[in-house]
Chains A and B, each alone.
Chain A
Amino acid sequence: MEVLSLKLVEMRGITKVYPDGVVALRGVDFEASEGEIHGLLGENGAGKTTLMRILYGEIKQTSGEIIFSGRAVSFKGPWDSMRSGISMVYQRFSLVPTMSVLENFYLYLSSFQRVGIEEVKRRAEDVMERLKFRVPLEANVEDLPVGVQQRVEIIKVLLSRPKLIIFDEPTSVLTPIESRELFRILKELREEGIAIIFITHKLREVKEITDRVTILRKGERVGTYETPSVSEEELAIMMVGRGIVPAKRSVSSPGGEVMRVEDLWVRDDRGLHAVKGVSFELHEGEIFGIAGVQGNGQLELAEALAGMRRVERGRILLDGRDITDLPAEARYREGLAYIPDSRAVGLVLEMNLMENSILTSLRSFLGRGGRIIWPRASGRAGEIIERFNIVGSVRSQVKYLSGGNQQRLLVGREIIKAPKVLIVSEPTQGLDVAATEFIRSTLLKFREEGRSIILISSDLDEIFELCDRIAVIYEGKFVGIERSENLTLERLGLLMGGVNA
């Protein structure tokens, strides 16, 4: 394998400063060669995606140059870079959901050249043959499971015979089995001489699939190494600037039953069953984890428990009381709290901090005749700011807060109500390491006070770090509920992929 590969792309001294003064990238150098898988590692917010979007032509750099195939280039937009042979597979796919797979392929190819729909079909068949998997051409994209959608995206990108493909956190929507399959495909593509840039924040993946890795931290390049020559610990230190300290979970002695779910059936927005007969109990002082890749019914389950979504069959009991038909506001008063996975849903971004802090406990802030007692709301907002270290004031508009501060507000607002049961979904998604550590230790502290948490997450490290018992959700059903001590990462991965070993 000691072939001197050609340097395909070189980025020199890339700096990106946004109009509001934020410096996303500072003098970053980066290069990738043909036939290699080059990892781009960094925590959330380090600038990895920004750097690649500059390469792809979506954003313009403030200074610095890009050399592609030996020539200096300045892309005016994605279509420009696409024509030069650079493609990007996004985290949120760039497919039109309401159109069919074939129509999406047609749309994509027609921006390169005049081509008929028959030719598009032929090329798609070619690619599917090479990669040894198929996707249904006539189906509408939004009807396909996320894993299949990603394959559609990959095929699409290959239709134009690119020289360089950038993958942005592709495994975040895949089960461990699907990830392995993806890696097989990446290796095939590498054999064909395509340069692959693999953006990730997961150390394990870097070690598993990349040939070389470049680490970014806070917008600067820390270094580039041959992957076999660095360990996960060394990578972690370079990524964060210090060792990552996982939260310490004390051994628990859970108390009595505080919540029970019996044979729950829930439909999704399109009328199909998303939750198919889920049952479990929750005890005082425990964190119960529901592990699974997004799209297996967790959202519908969480919403049904919170009261946002109708339960078709089954029962939910809180402290012995049947709350199945109670609306959300009533459940929150009974001691249930829910932190959704999207801050756009959990917060009203256009309102200020004070107005947001009363969102899920409105009744406690009302006086006679439905009047809102604003001074009381202001007091609550101040409490949340203090206890959860939020950078902002009572009257700050929430949309101007950073993601980490928004999440602290969201989590803080619910925890400060001291609910009996807290349902929380993807609590640290997209957050940097400092905010992640804070939120996780907050959740553990909450558990130590004898309260209960249902944690829904696709981040397996998080699940192991925080949970006492773990259930795996796959296609709307629980495929195993075990104490976390009795589970290994491999077993968890298999269960998530639907393999009941």
Chain B
Amino acid sequence: MIEDLLSLTSQALVAMIPLLLASVGEIVTERSGVVNIGLEGILILSAFVSSLVTFSTNDPYLGLLAGALSGLSAGLLHGFISVYLRGDQIIAGVGFNTFAYGISILGLINTWGHHGASPMVSKIPFFGAPLYISPLLPIALIIAIICWFWLFRTSSGLRLRACGEDPRAAEAMGVNVLRTRFLATLLGATLTGIGGAYIVVGWIGQFTRHISAGRGFIALAIVALSGWNPALSIAGSFIFGFFDAISLYLPVKIQLINPGLNLTSLSYIFRIIPYLGVLIIVSSLFRRGRAPRDLGRPYIKE
């Protein structure tokens, strides 16, 4: 029993890392007034790029870096479209998800000729048995705490938040709203890119077609549930990481008890656990009116 709990927890701690990085990044972005629905696409794209780089160089850390850079590029695109061209942020994000998916699978096929998955690549080692902790976990936690401190205890954080609450007033107070929003989008996308790379080089070990399977949207849900507070998103990421772990764990356990069942088909029904969890928790706990006032609206200077 304890063993199971331990193994579940270490699974959860691994699964929470991409969720935490993406949600903290998106909290910063949304606090400045921009919503990036394209997190899912960034996760997929950076997962692919990092698998490619890690495969060629055999260095998972370079893979992480590549993931960060892919995130940055995605951020440049979304930031440019949303902030400077005043595009509809939700549509641009949805389009990006489809685009990133297409490009990544295209890359997968062109590179390795396979339609489902890439070959295995080297991974970042864990430390600390029996709880296998990835070195990226403390890093992600520190990033979350730093972001919390920065947003709520510094004047530059205050200025960023003002952009998301009332950009006109912020501008009148001397804040360069467009530039702040653009940089916040870049930061959020880069962190998400690291998260996406991590899924490959720190966890699954390869790039697959459904590598993300909605994690980008779970991160969006975590942003809202945590009240746009990076410290609370730590808890949220852990909870959903736990759901993720359970959904993989239960079918295996059940099959041990009942060997006659087909594992593949069985595992399908358990895969819905994380999504159902998000749905139920979000529907019951969400409180209106805590979002940044100007979220999602393009800032148009006269």
User: Are A97's CB and B165's CB within 8 A?
Assistant: yes
Q: Is B168 an interface residue (CB 8 A)?
A: yes
User: Are A107's CB and B165's CB within 8 A?
Assistant: no
User: Are A97's CB and B166's CB within 8 A?
Assistant: yes
CA separation between A111 and B168, bound complex, in Å? Answer: 15
- Chain A neighbourhood of B2, CB < 8 A: none
User: Are A96's CB and B162's CB within 8 A?
Assistant: yes
Given A59-B302, A78-B174, A94-B172, residue A110 in contact with residue B155 (CB < 8 A): yes
User: Are B155's CB and A99's CB within 8 A?
Assistant: no
CA separation between A112 and B173, bound complex, in Å? Answer: 10
User: Are A110's CB and B165's CB within 8 A?
Assistant: no
Interface digits, A72-100 against B, CB 8 Å rule (1 contact, 0 not)? 00000111001000001010011111110
Q: Is A30 an interface residue (CB 8 A)?
A: no
Which residue of B161, B165, B173 contacts A111 across the interface (Cβ within 8 Å)?
Answer: B173
Q: Is B252 an interface residue (CB 8 A)?
A: no
Q: Is A43 an interface residue (CB 8 A)?
A: no
- Chain B neighbourhood of A93, CB < 8 A: 169
A-B CB contact pairs (8 Å), 11 listed = A94-B169, A96-B162, A96-B165, A96-B170, A97-B165, A97-B166, A97-B293, A106-B155, A110-B158, A110-B159, A112-B174
Task: Give chain B interface residues in 164-212, CB to chain A under 8 Å.
Answer: 165-166, 168-175
A85 to chain B, nearest CB (A): 14
User: Are A108's CB and B165's CB within 8 A?
Assistant: no
CA separation between A50 and B173, bound complex, in Å? Answer: 19
CA separation between A97 and B155, bound complex, in Å? Answer: 17
B224 to chain A, nearest CB (A): 17
User: Are B172's CB and A99's CB within 8 A?
Assistant: no
CA separation between A257 and B209, bound complex, in Å? Answer: 74
User: Are B293's CB and A98's CB within 8 A?
Assistant: yes
CA separation between A82 and B172, bound complex, in Å? Answer: 10
- Chain A neighbourhood of B172, CB < 8 A: 78, 88, 90, 94
B179 to chain A, nearest CB (A): 12
User: Are B174's CB and A96's CB within 8 A?
Assistant: no
Given A97-B165, A98-B165, A98-B293, residue A103 in contact with residue B158 (CB < 8 A): yes
Which residue of B162, B171, B302 contacts A78 across the interface (Cβ within 8 Å)?
Answer: B171
- Chain B neighbourhood of A94, CB < 8 A: 168-169, 172-173
- Chain A neighbourhood of B174, CB < 8 A: 77-79, 82, 108, 111-112
User: Are B293's CB and A107's CB within 8 A?
Assistant: no
CA separation between A103 and B155, bound complex, in Å? Answer: 9
CA separation between A82 and B174, bound complex, in Å? Answer: 8
- Chain A neighbourhood of B155, CB < 8 A: 106-107, 110
- Chain A neighbourhood of B159, CB < 8 A: 107, 110-111
A44 to chain B, nearest CB (A): 17
Closest to B171 in A: A78
Q: Which of A78, A97, A108, A111 has the most CB of B within 10 A?
A: A111
- Chain A neighbourhood of B168, CB < 8 A: 94
CA separation between A179 and B158, bound complex, in Å? Answer: 33
- Chain B neighbourhood of A98, CB < 8 A: 165-166, 293
Which residue of A59, A88, A90, A107 contacts B162 across the interface (Cβ within 8 Å)?
Answer: A107
Task: Give chain A interface residues in 97-147, CB to chain B under 8 Å.
Answer: 97-99, 103-104, 106-108, 110-112
Given A78-B174, A82-B174, A111-B174, residue A106 in contact with residue B169 (CB < 8 A): no
CA separation between A58 and B166, bound complex, in Å? Answer: 17
- Chain B neighbourhood of A59, CB < 8 A: 302
- Chain A neighbourhood of B175, CB < 8 A: 107, 111
Closest to A156 in B: B173
CA separation between A99 and B168, bound complex, in Å? Answer: 14
Closest to A117 in B: B155
User: Are B158's CB and A106's CB within 8 A?
Assistant: yes
User: Are B166's CB and A107's CB within 8 A?
Assistant: no
- Chain A neighbourhood of B173, CB < 8 A: 94, 96, 104, 107-108, 111
Closest to A80 in B: B174
B165 to chain A, nearest CB (A): 5
